[in-house]
Amino acid sequence: MPAEGLEISTESSRLDVELIHNFLSRSSYWAQGRSRDIVERSLAHSLCFGAYQDGRQVGFARLITDYAVFGYLADVFVVPESRGHGIGKALMDAVMAHPEVARLKVLLLRTSHAQGLYASYGFAALPAAEEMMGRYRE
């Protein structure tokens, strides 16, 4: 059961950009060193979800999407001091229930730590993974 008073919102004006940038650039394994400018641009061009406890942001997720067929779930996190209270699950429940997400045919993500959580929402290893390609730059 999520912590009492938890609220999930897609209202971009509520996002704590400083918190998001600090977590991503300093604490995440996937976005170490990401600049504030890059974080701000990524927020501006994504459907963002903030998790708020007592008015303070405690979690985040963003969806990069064409709003028709495809979406990529990225930068999902709960701040360390708020983990273990169902906030990550509540955040994912809100993402998956959002009408812009629910209609998408393809939804991808990349994780090395939370396969169990995402599997409960229908995510699995990609079928025909040999058909998928990617380009990564440092």
Q: CA-CA distances (angstroms) from residue 131 to 50, 126, 127, 128?
A: 33, 9, 9, 6
Q: Which of 8-17, 21-30, 33-42, 122-131 has the lowest mean pLDDT?
A: 122-131
Domains and CATH numbers, the chain: 6-131 (3.40.630.30)
Question: Residue 48: what residue type?
Answer: C
The 10s digit of each residue's pLDDT in 28-80 is 999 999 999 999 999 999 999 999 999 999 999 999 999 999 999 999 999 99
The 10s digit of each residue's pLDDT in 85-121 is 999 999 999 999 999 999 999 999 988 888 888 999 9
